[in-house]
Amino acid sequence: MAGLFACGLLYTLIAVAQGRWTDPAVLIAVIIETMLVYASWVEEPITKKGISQLVLATILYISYAVLLNILTEVAVMAAGGMLLFAALHVEPKFPMTKRAILTGIVVGVIMTFLGIYLALKLGIIYFVGAEMLGALILGVFGKYTAEENTVVVAIANSSSMIAIGVLIVFPAIDIFILDDLIVNSIITYPFIVFVTGVSAICGMLILAPMRDRFEDEPWPQVRPQAECIIAIGADETAKKDVLTGLGASMAWVGATRVAEAAIPGTSLSSVPHAIAPAVFPDWVGVSNSPLMAAMGFFMGWKRVLVLVTGSVVSLLIWVLLEGANPLLEFGTHLQRPEILYLALGVFASVIAGDVLSGRRHEKDELSPTEFEDISNKDDESDPNGFMIGHPHKASDVPRLARIPKEVFDWEEIKREIREMVENPREYLKSRRGQLPLWVAFVSLGIFMTITLLVFWIFTPFGGLQIHFGLIILGSPIVLASAYFTARAISETGMLAGYISDIIAIPAILLFRVGFATITVFMSMLGALQDSAIALLVHLKLGRLTGVRGRDIAKAVFIGAILGTFVGSAITYVIFITYGFGGTDFPSPAAQLFGFLVISLQGLGDLTLPGMRIWPEVSPFIVFVYLFSFGVGGYLAGRELHKKGMSAISLAVGLLIPPATAVAMLFGGFVDYRLKKKRGESEEEESQAGFLDPLRDKTTRLLSGVVAGEAIVTVVWVLFSAIVFLGIL
């Protein structure tokens, strides 16, 4: 570490010698790097108080540099050095060991690079596979433990998710803004770091208070990862099951990749596209993906059927309205307004269903007065009475009696703040890690304040300004967007965070903002959401693997810092070297995102999205036509909700390639057969968990299948990147 910080000191001294000694951020960086070199030699393991002081100093230093418009690469490097020192000089406790942290950083750098590369090259991202890389490194340098590998996965995947969360904005600006001077003034390394870091840190706590609401969901993406992590260190039978699935998946996917490389122009991504590419596009048919087939098992057969129903509707639109065009790209297909309005209608039904469910739940709650009257009764035969069969903490009684409490009781909030400041660990321990809801609003308020200062008052980044009304009115939407995205990923295993894109409608209609402004702000909201999802996902992973929530939170924070500094560097280097939107890095997601924003700019003329497709038709008729799709989506979602089925799965099915959904039917069928064989209801099955030997074995096999395709994809992309960059 002393050598690393010495390199940083040398760089800052060179900057001073080149005439930048008048820059106060550079002078402060010289002092910081000197102190880090000295502390690396003599400093004992720092305490948690020391870590807090370093983190606070880093935040103040970055804020000072941003507000004075002196956030250069030297300031970013010094800030990153302080955070790195804090991470590596603390004396950690199991499972947050130095070995786990260092392994997580190494794997995180690899996964972040691959995630960015995939997003820019293909528009497809895999967040599975870090557990295998982590197990390999941990096994080389000591005894493998599932808990440490969970920390590795949390660091690596969080770094990838957060770096990719803001990735779309920069290619979109480069592609759709033709003035190179404006583009180069906006896309700078400090700007990427600031946008990523603020969104990542402020977004972590947005969903944490609501974590219990997602506890009973299937989490089809998390469960196979947890099974792999546990099985690697379990008995030989469990290892054999995972390795069998792993080997079969790797062999199948590897053979497919080799065949495609051997015959240029061949695509085996789906059937029947591989046989008749001139008739069927690659997103129609059945995807050649063992990973997606296995995901159907973890998702559950009922949700898979609903998801496939949405894809069938999407397929009918392709056949009936688009003439079954075999050359049609899926991104172009997704721009059909019928799909957009159907999905919005389903989302509306989900919102309405949650509100009604909340009202029904409130009817079952007791007021404090009713609770006191009932508890003071001596008649145990009273049907409205209740007894506490075994001792509970006093703080648990309101929850057991279902007494509603105020979300914003100011006296309670002030008391909780005092407890948090005085003894954070004891506070979380007394509440079993559950944070109050107001913490999410405070975190969002901090984000809004920082955004107002930087993008409305001081505007240090190329004069880029975001209207204060847009910040105040638009930011709260991320709470709803994050919640429903969490619903989607916990039920289907897929990210479907399209609700935050709705912010473009009032932004363009009310504030007439430009392309760069709305793109930056929407991406910041997306990064807030991805950070919140990253914490929620890994909290669930920790519960499945036996890692405490506070250790997961620390790992995700380290991943956020890694994604902020390293991920931003990777993105910036690709930009200055190759640019975005060309043959090298076509950035398909950014292309789609940019077209969405541009099409929505018609809202300034009071034109709804999709109405311009039929310019010769009366706007009233077009409005009624599109509105009917929204109503149809709402009614379909409501009926699913009444039957206790997943409406959010229908929306996801509308927004993913039909070939992907059909592949998931295989896993759904396996899940159906196992449940039918056992003859249990869903409630009994959930209570039984993994006690059924056959289901347990199937779970391990398919977990290996999921990991196998991810590993082959990671290795293949890494090899392709090395060849592409001319290293080989």
The two three-digit tokens of residue 178, written as one number: 């033709």
The whole-angstrom separation of Cα 470 and Cα 521 is: 9
Please check the confidence at residue 690 and state whether its pLDDT lies above 50: no
Nearest alpha carbon to residue 711 among 108, 238, 254? 254
Name which of 6-15, 189-198, 354-363, 572-581 the model is least confident about.
Answer: 354-363
420-474 tens-digit pLDDT: 766 776 777 767 667 888 888 999 999 999 999 989 988 888 788 888 888 887 7
Q: Residue 448's pLDDT is what?
A: 93
Please check the confidence at residue 360 and state whether its pLDDT lies above 70: no
Please check the confidence at residue 152 and state whether its pLDDT lies above 80: yes
Q: Which residue has the higher pLDDT, 89 or 388?
A: 89
* High-pLDDT (> 70) share of the chain, %: 78
Residue 501, amino acid: D
The whole-angstrom separation of Cα 394 and Cα 397 is: 6
Q: Residue 51's pLDDT is what?
A: 77
The two three-digit tokens of residue 72, written as one number: 């250069």
Q: Residue 381's pLDDT is what?
A: 47
Please check the confidence at residue 363 and state whether its pLDDT lies above 70: no
Q: Residue 723's pLDDT is what?
A: 65
User: What CA–CA distances, in Å, run from 496 to 291, 438, 481, 588, 650?
Assistant: 18, 26, 9, 16, 11
CB 665 within 8 A of CB 260: no
Q: Residue 446's pLDDT is what?
A: 92
280-296 tens-digit pLDDT: 998 899 988 888 888 88
Q: Residue 148's pLDDT is what?
A: 94
Q: Which residue has the higher pLDDT, 644 or 31?
A: 31
Main-chain phi, psi angles of 286, to 5 degrees:
-130, 125
Q: Which residue has the higher pLDDT, 232 or 74?
A: 74
Q: Residue 404's pLDDT is what?
A: 44
Q: Residue 321's pLDDT is what?
A: 92
Please check the confidence at residue 157 and state whether its pLDDT lies above 70: yes
CB 71 within 8 A of CB 194: yes
Q: Residue 718's pLDDT is what?
A: 63
Q: Residue 511's pLDDT is what?
A: 67
Q: Under DSSP, is residue 90 helix (H, G, I), strand (E, B) or coil? A: strand
Q: Residue 42's pLDDT is what?
A: 76
Please check the confidence at residue 560 and state whether its pLDDT lies above 80: yes
Three-state SS across 539-582? HHHHHHHCCCHHHHHHHHHHHHHHHHHHHHHHHHHHHHHCCCCC
The two three-digit tokens of residue 324, written as one number: 């079954």
Q: Residue 388's pLDDT is what?
A: 46
Mean pLDDT score, 691-706: 79
Q: Residue 499's pLDDT is what?
A: 46
Please check the confidence at residue 550 and state whether its pLDDT lies above 50: yes
Q: Which range has the top average pLDDT, 68-72, 206-210, 469-473? A: 206-210
The whole-angstrom separation of Cα 201 and Cα 197 is: 6
The whole-angstrom separation of Cα 113 and Cα 106 is: 11
| pLDDT confidence band for 686 (50 / 70 / 90) | very low
Helix ranges (DSSP H) in 90-221? 98-121, 130-140, 146-165, 169-176, 180-186, 189-203
Nearest alpha carbon to residue 103 among 153, 46, 163, 160? 153
Q: Which helix (H) or strand (E) holds 384?
A: none
The full set of domain ranges for the chain reads 1-91, 235-357+607-724
Q: Residue 684's pLDDT is what?
A: 46
The whole-angstrom separation of Cα 70 and Cα 23 is: 7
Q: Which helix (H) or strand (E) holds 617?
A: none
Nearest alpha carbon to residue 219 among 449, 541, 666, 550? 541
The whole-angstrom separation of Cα 247 and Cα 224 is: 16
Query: ∠ at Cα 104 (102, 110), nearest 5°?
Result: 110
Q: Residue 389's pLDDT is what?
A: 45
Mean pLDDT score, 527-556: 90
| pLDDT confidence band for 356 (50 / 70 / 90) | low
Q: Dump the DSSP string for 240-302.
A: HHHHHHHHHHHHHHHHHHHHHHHSTT---SEETTTT-TTTS-TTSSEE--HHHHHHHHHH-HH
Nearest alpha carbon to residue 113 among 724, 536, 583, 553? 724
Q: Residue 355's pLDDT is what?
A: 53
Please check the confidence at residue 385 and state whether its pLDDT lies above 50: no
Q: Burial letters for 301-320: b for 16+ Cβ neighbours within 10 Å, e otherwise?
A: bbbbbbbbbbbebbbebbee
Name which of 3-12, 96-105, 577-586 the model is least confident about.
Answer: 577-586
The whole-angstrom separation of Cα 226 and Cα 544 is: 6
Residue 130, amino acid: A
The whole-angstrom separation of Cα 134 and Cα 100 is: 9
Mean pLDDT score, 675-686: 60
Q: Dump the DSSP string for 34-72.
A: HHHHHHHHHPPPB-HHHHHHHHHHHHHHHHHHHHTT---
586-636 tens-digit pLDDT: 776 676 677 667 766 655 555 565 666 777 888 788 888 988 998 999 999
Name which of 387-401, 553-567, 644-658 the model is least confident about.
Answer: 387-401
Q: Residue 641's pLDDT is what?
A: 83
Average per-residue pLDDT for the chain: 78
- The strand pairing partners of 694, in sequence order, are none
Q: Residue 449's pLDDT is what?
A: 93
Q: Which residue has the higher pLDDT, 314 or 712?
A: 314
Mean pLDDT score, 369-384: 50
The whole-angstrom separation of Cα 589 and Cα 586 is: 9
Please check the confidence at residue 182 and state whether its pLDDT lies above 60: yes
Main-chain phi, psi angles of 326, to 5 degrees:
-75, -15
